[in-house]
């Protein structure tokens, strides 16, 4: 148990949130299946976010053109 800034942080075991070994194996298999499917996808078959959801968040604001390395 760890305390920082007046808040208590516990591990899952300390908090009593344990899962069975069988369920843990099932979760591991689900993640493995997901990763297999994800890795099998061709990069060109994925779609990107439309312009309004990606790109330059500062465009159209007073900070347009600003970069963190400029003063």
Domain parsing of the chain, residue ranges: 10-42
Residue 9 three-state SS: strand
The answer to whether 38 touches 31, Cβ cutoff 8 Å, is: no
pLDDT digits (tens, 9 = 90+) for 12-57: 889 988 889 999 999 999 999 999 998 887 676 556 666 666 666 7
Give the bridge partners for 2, in sequence order: 9
Give the bridge partners for 7, in sequence order: 4
C-alpha 33/C-alpha 39 separation (Å) is 10
Top-confidence residue, 69 or 37: 37
User: What pLDDT shows up at residue 46?
Assistant: 59
pTM of the predicted model as reported, rounded to 2 decimal places: 0.43
Give backbone dihedrals phi and psi of 22, rounded to 5 degrees, phi first.
-65, -45
User: What pLDDT shows up at residue 64?
Assistant: 78
Give the bridge partners for 8, in sequence order: 3
User: What pLDDT shows up at residue 49?
Assistant: 63
């Amino acid at each position: 148990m760890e305390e920082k800034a007046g808040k208590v942080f516990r591990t899952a075991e300390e908090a009593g949130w344990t899962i069975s070994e069988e369920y843990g194996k099932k979760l591991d298999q689900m993640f493995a299946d997901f990763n297999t499917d994800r890795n099998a996808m061709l990069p060109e078959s994925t779609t990107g976010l439309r312009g309004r959801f990606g790109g330059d968040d500062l465009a159209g604001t007073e900070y347009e053109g600003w970069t963190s390395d400029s003063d």
